[in-house]
Amino acid sequence: MMTAIIQIVFYLLILLLLARPLGLMMARVYEGDPGWLRFLRPLEHLFYRLAGIAENQAMSWRQYTLALLLFNGGGLLLVYLLQQIQGWLPLNPQAVPSVEPALAFNTAASFVSNTDWQFYAGETTLSYLTQMMGLTVQNFLSAATGMAVLVALIRGFSRQHTTELGNFWIDITRTVLYILLPLAIILALFLVSQGVVQTVAAAETVPLLEPMTASDGTVIMSQTIARGPAASQIAIKQLGTNGGGFFNVNAAHPFENPTPLSNLLQMLAILLIPTALCFTFGQMIGDKRQGTTLLMVMLIIFVSFAAMTIYAEQQGNPRLDDMAVNQQVNDIQSGGNMEGKEVRFGLVSSALWAAATTAASNGSVNSMHDAYTPLGGLFPLLLMQLGEVIFGGVGSGLYGLIAFALVAVFVAGLMVGRTPEYLGKKIETFEMKMATVVILIPPLVVLLWTAIAVSSTAGLSGATNPGPHGFSQILYAFSSMGNNNGSAFAGLDGRHPFFTIGGALAMLIARYGLIVPVLAVAGSLAGKQKIPATAGTLPTDTPLFGGWLIIIILVVGALSFLPALVLGPIVEYLLL
Amino acid sequence: MVAMKKAGTPHSPKLAMYKRALGDAVLKLNPVHLVRNPVMFVVEVGSVLLTALLGLSLSGVSTATDTPGFTGAVAAWLWFTLLFANFAEALAEGRGKAQADALRRTRTETPAKKLAARNAAASYTVIASTELRKGDYVLVTANDTIPADGEVIEGIAAVDESAVTGESAPVIRESGGDRSAVTGGTRVISDWLIIAITSDPGEGFLDRMISLVEGAKRQKTPNEIALTILLAGFTIVFLVVVATLLPFSIYSVQLAGQGTPITLTILVALLICLIPTTIGGLLNAIGIAGMDRLIQRNVLAMSGRAVEAAGDVGVLLLDKTGTITLGNRQAVEFVPMAGMSRSELARLTQLASLADETPEGRSIVTLAQHQFGLEATQNDRDAAEFIPFTAQTRMSGLNLNGDTIRKGAPDTIMRYVSEQGGQVSKAMQLAVEQIARTGGTPLAVAYNGQAIGVVHLKDVIKSGIKDRFNQLRAMGIKTVMITGDNPLTATAIAAEAGVDDFLAEATPEAKLKLIRSYQAAGHLVAMTGDGTNDAPALAQADVAVAMNNGTQPAREAANMVDLDSDPTKLIEIVAIGKQLLMTRGALTTFSLANDIAKYFAIIPAAFATTYPVLAVLNFMHLTTPQSAIMSAVIFNALVIIALVPLALRGVPYRLVPAAQLLRDNLLLYGLGGLITPFIGIKVIDLILWALGLA
């Protein structure tokens, strides 16, 4: 119990200590001042010159959206084509063939949309070139896209009487050059120091110490150990809330996450930028308390859900208790439900990771969520279903939370006898329409896709478990895709086109179906007059408003998913 | 308002109003009407669906597992839900309709004397008022009803406007100036007027008023539309939640190997309980009732948008006279010059004011009486020769037993004293300046050609107005005093009244500029006005209240008209706007908070056969799955009726800061909305059980 508390507090403390200066630095970057990184300025200008971008050319929300969609659409096509022709391209020491089209489309959509859902095993499906030029590049760009949308929204609040939201190309260049690249380089070096592999050499074949006999009678004498340029991809996969592992078992793999220290660093990296962006937000709108309030909302939900996950896992499996198995914490074991968890991380670090990776729309795993107790699996599932706004994706989490804040302000604002306003901007019909779309799309995608899955043989072919857990598996998969998280409950067999193509569509809708209305809101807000705050204004930087926002998020999430959760994890728990 | 008061008082009309509302509630079931309200339209579709299902099940076509009795009961309560919501709306409209009927009775066709030319000597022909067109000239004489809205271009007359304002005292209407607008349907009591008609038949003020109080042309306001969108969003979510529950349930039955999938009846019941029917059903009633509350206070809002804007107002421009101060100045002090005692000055000034019937004059008599017990004798009165105030002399006073006493503005008196060969002392000038500096008006007094002292006349600030301004400030509303006074006087009065700012020597241009500057800073501005030169400022202001006795241009430029012509009402209008928005927010919160309890009632009941373990979620211990669902549906319908009074009356409104309002209302309507249905559903379940219906 005590160790769990110490671990959470220690983790949060370092997180906040790192996030604040980073957040303030990012605010400066978006205002055009890269600080000590200004020696990269010539490089930045060179990019603009090469691409023919006028630096002072601001964009309206429509232009910004168009640029974004073109850019991401191009990325999608590129990653898809790369997989189609990887067989003929260099940097393919394992000589993996080209990827099957439906799977390639799913993977391309998944990485472009910052979901990083993986229906493939990295080491056996993709060449090093595809991993580096396709996936790693999209890890950077999808993260930068989310951050650019957030920055455009912030400008919508901080500017008035204008149609200009900034320039997409400049925002994305600066994000990558001054924020993501430096952080990724630092983290990658740290990870390499802990033993994460970084090589373009082929997999190593080593003789087994003890030969083993396969079920068909053949004797296996050697083992192939996969390697590759992992550290460079893992750094950005965590920092950019991407989460797609280099290897199939993701951060449970000893070459991806070898030590408790690498585990801590990666866990910090998962929440670092989403946390820092709250400070960036406060700084850029010129009211730090507004940013801290949103951060507190995230922290409170995160900590309570993480605590409940840890508690549920620590209780262990009652069926094992019946068999007189000792599941208590003691000096030689961390106790609780250790199935699917790595002993080198222990229970708390695994469960805390599970909460962090689902709160943020990261999705990388260091333990198998499928093997969690029903309640231990329920909280990570619910964290995704809340719309990925508790930290969420880089940029996307905060703009999603702001959409919730608009709804919270709308209802509460009326209760103080004024038409609603947030951060000095009136929230009117158009904003409400767009905010409703932003909040509606994820639950609709999750519920509809799950419903189709459970009523079709194609969908049911994926579930590998009988009983309500089979339902939980399907619900988890679409909660993950429909919220751009990408974490898998494992256990789901996703080879059917319903999952590959259908899943890709879910991910794309959940990403761009939100980005477009958010940018539209940004455009509409930027044109509006800023209203000065008075005693009659609804204060949105108080614990009261923070509490109200938490209630709105939980109620919308609970009202949308309670019936489904009852039929999945809750009944699983009751039947256990 | 005479015409309006008739509508609400005795018991029988009230009963008639309920009857009429009941009838209207049924008429409003028309889907063409309901489709504008997405939430209630879904309820109607659900009701029709279940009624059809009942029909199928009774005729033996359907093989649904639910008994026809259960399906029928749910269907019946869904229809009740709809009727209750419609009833609330009809009731809100009913008040307005009754008033409109009363107004319509006054708008009978009247004969009009149409003049051939625009002068009184021209010949006229008598035609029906409905044949008058804009630009016609008519003559109205004593006892004529004014045939249409117009502008007086010649003459002066006393007009009885009680048909419009309810105020029985006649008002003066004359050509030129700010009292030239006349309203069709009002009656000339004395003298005559020549009127240029300004409205075509059916477009007059009375017609507009009728359609406003009737709510016939009521458009959804911007905030109402935004809220409707949010509610529609929730409705879509719940539609999908409920629709996907069927495949989830079928799949779960396969997995569990027992039970039956959720029935259509339960799905529809769940859907109707989850979608925000409480606020959806009462939304229109809240809007209509808000407008109606304004009408009860004799304010006509030309659009609902203006009422909402009133809630958002950040700056109130208030006319000093009548709003901040009582209309008249009052004497508060006698300041004698050397060689004159205070009581002697009081006595002489009282004498000079005996015949002065102005409020200022009377206040001097009262002050002298009050301070020194002075009472003029009948002898004095009989012997005195009173000198009335004239535009030429600009003084008044009296001659008594050879003595002359004069009072007037200081410069007039000083000029008079110099003409009489007297000297004006330095002390006199100092006293005059001193009074002016404190915001008072000095009145100089001369006795036998010598200046003997000054009377301090003071603007009297209305009692309680300072507290009111403090409260307004606490809720973030700035008050700005508008006055024609010089800056010196204005500063003193502004300080005493506790306004945040003032505009002295206000001209229409200065007012317009002030409004624009506040708006540029992001504030919404409210003001009142009556004169033609107020029209530009009224048009610029976000909430502009024209006095009904004002000119036609002022009334056209404003978005509200106060029939009582009371500038103080601006503060009440703001309160009504806020109350309207608060009621909407409170019921939305209540409605959403209700859903939690409904889930706990329906979900265990819906899956009772598939997963009996879910019974642990039924911690309300509702008797049977059927009674649980029925209780939730019945609660959902009854809560609408229970909240009708709140919707019509509006939530209580207090002048406190927003943070405090939010906390109180969240506790009351949020927490209350969470807890109430648990209790309500349990109670209904117990009743069903007691009646043997569970």
Of B72, B70, B245, residue with least CA distance to B624: B70
Chain B contact probe: residue of A411, A421, A456, A521 with most B CBs at under 10 A: A411
Residue B384 CB neighbour total at 10 angstroms: 20
**Residues of B identified as active-site:** 319
Which tokens sit at A515?
Answer: 């980005």
Of A449, A360, A435, residue with least CA distance to A404: A435
> Kind of pairing, strands B543-547 and B525-529?
parallel
B172 reaches A (C-beta below 8 A): no
- Answer whether B541's CB lies under 8 Å from B480's CB: no
What is the average per-residue pLDDT within A446-454?
93
The alpha carbon of residue A537 is apart from the nearest alpha carbon of chain B, in Å, by 6
Contact B240 A447 (CB under 8 A): yes
- DSSP lists the bridge partners of residue A377 as none
Of A575, A331, A433, residue with least CA distance to B611: A575
- Domain membership flag for residue A220: no
pLDDT at B9: 44
B235 reaches A (C-beta below 8 A): no
Radius of gyration of the CA atoms of chain B, in A: 34
**In which region does residue A528 sit, left (phi positive, over 0), alpha (psi from -120 to 50) or beta (all else)?**
beta
- Answer whether B180's CB lies under 8 Å from B173's CB: yes
Nearest to A468 among B236, B255, B603 (CB): B255
Parent domain of A250: 2-204+225-575
DSSP sequence for B262-326: PPHHHHHHHHHHHS-HHHHHHHHHHHHHHHHHHHHTTEEES-HHHHHHHHH--EEEEEIIIIIEE
What distance in Å separates the CA atoms of residue A282 and residue B64, rounded to the nearest whole number? 57
What is the average per-residue pLDDT within A471-476?
90
Contact B657 A536 (CB under 8 A): yes
- Domain membership flag for residue A71: yes
The amino acid at residue A447 is L
The alpha carbon of residue A555 is apart from the nearest alpha carbon of chain B, in Å, by 8
Chain B contact probe: residue of A289, A375, A416 with most B CBs at under 10 A: A416
| CA nearest to B595 within chain A | A559
Tell me how far CA of residue A141 lies from CA of A114, A186, A239, A463, in angstroms: 9, 18, 12, 33
Which tokens sit at B655?
Answer: 């002048």
B669 reaches A (C-beta below 8 A): yes
Tell me how far CA of residue A463 lies from CA of A369, A456, B246, B251, B429, in angstroms: 15, 12, 19, 12, 100
**Is the pLDDT reported for residue A391 higher than 90?**
yes
In chain A, which residues have their Cβ closer than 8 Å to the Cβ of B581?
Answer: 414, 417-419
Nearest to A447 among B244, B478, B607 (CB): B244
Contact A535 B658 (CB under 8 A): yes
- Answer whether A347's CB lies under 8 Å from A312's CB: no
The amino acid at residue B630 is M
What distance in Å separates the CA atoms of residue B266 and residue B246, rounded to the nearest whole number? 10
Write down the ipTM of this complex.
0.91
- DSSP lists the bridge partners of residue A220 as A212
pLDDT at B630: 94
Predicted TM-score of the model (pTM): 0.86
Question: How many whole angstroms from its chain centre is CA A59?
Answer: 28
> Kind of pairing, strands A204-213 and A219-225?
antiparallel
- Answer whether A27's CB lies under 8 Å from A333's CB: no
Nearest to B662 among A412, A419, A448 (CB): A412
Per-run averaged pLDDT (10 residues), chain B, 694 residues: 40 76 88 88 95 86 74 94 92 80 71 81 83 87 85 85 69 76 83 86 76 68 89 94 93 87 92 93 90 85 84 87 77 88 89 81 88 79 81 81 87 88 84 84 88 88 83 84 83 88 86 90 86 83 85 82 80 89 93 90 88 89 92 95 92 84 91 95 95 82
- Answer whether B523's CB lies under 8 Å from A529's CB: no
B287 reaches A (C-beta below 8 A): no
> Kind of pairing, strands B315-319 and B478-482?
parallel
E strand segments, A394-495: 421-422, 425-426
Number of H helices, E strands in chain B: 25, 20
> Kind of pairing, strands B543-547 and B560-562?
parallel
In chain B, which residues have their Cβ closer than 8 Å to the Cβ of A534?
Answer: 314, 476-478
- Domain membership flag for residue A339: yes
Contact B665 A455 (CB under 8 A): no
Contact B312 A424 (CB under 8 A): no
CB-defined contacts A:B, below 8 A: 210
Identify the three-state secondary structure at position A375. Answer: helix
Handedness of CA B313, B317, B322, B326 (dihedral sign): positive
Contact B248 A471 (CB under 8 A): yes
Handedness of CA A153, A159, A161, A166 (dihedral sign): negative
The predicted-structure confidence for A480-491, as pLDDT tens digits, reads as follows 999 999 888 766
Q: How confident is the model at residue A323 (pLDDT cuts 50, 70, 90)?
A: confident
| CA nearest to A540 within chain B | B659
Radius of gyration of the CA atoms of chain A, in A: 23
Query: DSSP code of B345?
Result: H
In chain B, which residues have their Cβ closer than 8 Å to the Cβ of A411?
Answer: 230, 585, 588-589, 592
B388 reaches A (C-beta below 8 A): no
pLDDT at B5: 39
What distance in Å separates the CA atoms of residue A166 and residue B672, rounded to the nearest whole number? 45
- pLDDT greater at residue B99 or residue A44: A44
The amino acid at residue B347 is R
Which tokens sit at A131?
Answer: 């991993």
Q: How confident is the model at residue A516 (pLDDT cuts 50, 70, 90)?
A: very high
Tell me phi and psi for residue A181, to 5 degrees. Answer: -60, -50
Give buried/exposed letters for B99-119 (b at 16+ CB in 10 A, else e): bbebbeebbeebebbbbeeee
- First and final CA of chain B: distance in angstroms? 53
Chain A contact probe: residue of B237, B278, B307, B576 with most A CBs at under 10 A: B237
| CA nearest to A424 within chain B | B522
Chain A contact probe: residue of B224, B230, B307 with most A CBs at under 10 A: B230
- Domain membership flag for residue A530: yes
Contact A417 B581 (CB under 8 A): yes
pLDDT at A466: 75
In chain B, which residues have their Cβ closer than 8 Å to the Cβ of A412?
Answer: 585, 589, 662, 666
**Is the pLDDT reported for residue A479 higher than 70?**
yes
CA atoms within 13 A on the CB side of A466: 4
In chain B, which residues have their Cβ closer than 8 Å to the Cβ of A450?
Answer: 244, 248
Question: How many whole angstroms from its chain centre is CA B491?
Answer: 31
The alpha carbon of residue B476 is apart from the nearest alpha carbon of chain A, in Å, by 4
The alpha carbon of residue B38 is apart from the nearest alpha carbon of chain A, in Å, by 14
pLDDT at B177: 67
The amino acid at residue B129 is S
pLDDT at A343: 87
Contact B226 A575 (CB under 8 A): no
Residue A36 CB neighbour total at 10 angstroms: 7
**Is the pLDDT reported for residue A410 higher than 80?**
yes
pLDDT at B7: 40
- Domain membership flag for residue A67: yes
Nearest to B244 among A436, A448, A542 (CB): A448
Provide the domain count of chain A: 1
**Is the pLDDT reported for residue A223 higher than 50?**
yes
- First and final CA of chain A: distance in angstroms? 24
Sheet architecture: strand order including B478-482: B299-301, B560-562, B543-547, B525-529, B315-319, B478-482, B501-503
- Domain membership flag for residue A213: no
In chain A, which residues have their Cβ closer than 8 Å to the Cβ of B473?
Answer: 535
Contact A414 B581 (CB under 8 A): yes
Identify the three-state secondary structure at position A362. Answer: coil
Touching A: B residues 643-662, CB under 8 Å: 653, 657-659, 661-662
The alpha carbon of residue A418 is apart from the nearest alpha carbon of chain B, in Å, by 5
In chain B, which residues have their Cβ closer than 8 Å to the Cβ of A460?
Answer: 251
pLDDT at B108: 66
- pLDDT greater at residue B148 or residue A281: A281
Contact A429 B475 (CB under 8 A): no
Tell me how far CA of residue B672 lies from CA of B589, B660, B669, B675, in angstroms: 10, 17, 5, 5
The alpha carbon of residue A518 is apart from the nearest alpha carbon of chain B, in Å, by 16
- Biggest CA pair distance of chain B: 120
B389 reaches A (C-beta below 8 A): no
Tell me how far CA of residue B227 lies from CA of B196, B474, B641, in angstroms: 45, 27, 21
| CA nearest to A561 within chain B | B241
Of B101, B88, B99, residue with least CA distance to B22: B88
Tell me phi and psi for residue A441, to 5 degrees. Answer: -60, -50
Which tokens sit at A157?
Answer: 């609040």
B250 reaches A (C-beta below 8 A): yes
Helices (H), A113-229: 122-125, 128-129, 137-158, 168-174, 181-194
| CA nearest to A448 within chain B | B244
| CA nearest to B605 within chain A | A563
> Kind of pairing, strands B478-482 and B501-503?
parallel
- Answer whether A170's CB lies under 8 Å from A71's CB: no
- Domain membership flag for residue A210: no
What distance in Å separates the CA atoms of residue A490 and residue A487, rounded to the nearest whole number? 8
Contact B476 A536 (CB under 8 A): yes
Range of lowest pLDDT (A109-118, A375-384, A494-503): A494-503
B592 reaches A (C-beta below 8 A): yes
Nearest to B314 among A413, A419, A534 (CB): A534
Four-point Cα dihedral A484, A485, A486, A491, nearest 10 = -120
Helices (H), B144-204: 162-165
B518 reaches A (C-beta below 8 A): no
What distance in Å separates the CA atoms of residue A350 and residue A335, rounded to the nearest whole number? 13
- Domain membership flag for residue A112: yes
Contact residues for A302 (Cβ-Cβ < 8 A; gap 6+): A355, A356, A359, A383, A390, A391
